[in-house]
Amino acid sequence: MRTHIIPEVLESEATGRTKELYEDIKEVLQVPVVNFVFRALAHYPTFLEIAWEQVRPNMLTLNMDKTASHLQYPGISNIIPLLPWQTQYPPHVLNQLQGTLDIFRYVNPKLLLITSAWTEALSNRPVKGKGEVLGFLEPGIDPAFPRIDLLHPVEADPTMKKLLFEIAEAHQAMDVASDFRALAHYPDFLKRIWSYLKPFVKSSNYTLLESQLSKKAVRAVHRDMPYPVVINRDQLARVYSPKDIAGIMGLVSLFHRFLPGLIIDCEFMHRTFVNS
């Protein structure tokens, strides 16, 4: 079994300025979790602080909230089974499970926009910002979302660890996304849903949807972001070595590449609920 993982700074390990950034990220994105992209980039704290400060004002606007909502519903044409989860879980557990899924359905499009803006800026295609603001969001974690825990793959039992890494491999990802780490606390759900999702992930239709979402997000940041995102390699060279810059760009590119798939996965899983 593959054992290499992407180094990350877990929320429980964050201190000082990183901890402050984590709290701000959750408040601005309105979710009770610091997603993997930020935990990985926390190993480059200067980059994370500068890059976050550039996207932060954009993510507090109604512009980007509206744009993110348009990315939330990829046009999945495959037949998706309606599964009677209510017969498997009591109501309070089912609500927690659906709430967990709703967190990632909500935040993944925002993360795709953020990584799109960073990718474009680091590739010398800065986001200039349109300057027109439709309105602002009030920072704060949505009280409708449940508190969640992420199961780190190395702490999982052998069966779950195998499943999590199988999911990562199928997505051609170097590590297990936060979405599946959270859903790992519902092993029967994750095992069953993956049996339906796995063939779809390996299909040409899935690859096409990923590509369409990625391109749509890149167009959106240039069209809809009201404030500029201009961080570039020359700026990073004042702080980081070429090796570190390559590491930063590699991480940003990695997350930008697999976030479209997570958006598709979450929508697929959401639509298996009878009352969705």
Domain membership of residue 24 (yes or no) is: yes
36 and 178 Cβ atoms separated by less than 8 Å: yes
Domain membership of residue 72 (yes or no) is: yes
The pLDDT value given to residue 104: 98
Looking at the structure of the chain, the number of domains it has is 1
pTM: 0.96
- State the chain's mean pLDDT as an integer: 95
Domain membership of residue 1 (yes or no) is: no
Q: How far apart are CA 242 and CA 233, in angstroms?
A: 9
Q: How far apart are CA 246 and CA 42, in angstroms?
A: 15
The pLDDT value given to residue 5: 80
Domain that holds residue 169: 11-270
Backbone phi, then psi, for 200, in 5-degree steps?
-65, -45
Per-residue pLDDT tens digits for 165-183:
999 999 999 899 999 999 9
Domain membership of residue 4 (yes or no) is: no
Q: How far apart are CA 142 and CA 33, in angstroms?
A: 11
How much is the average pLDDT of 30-36?
Answer: 98
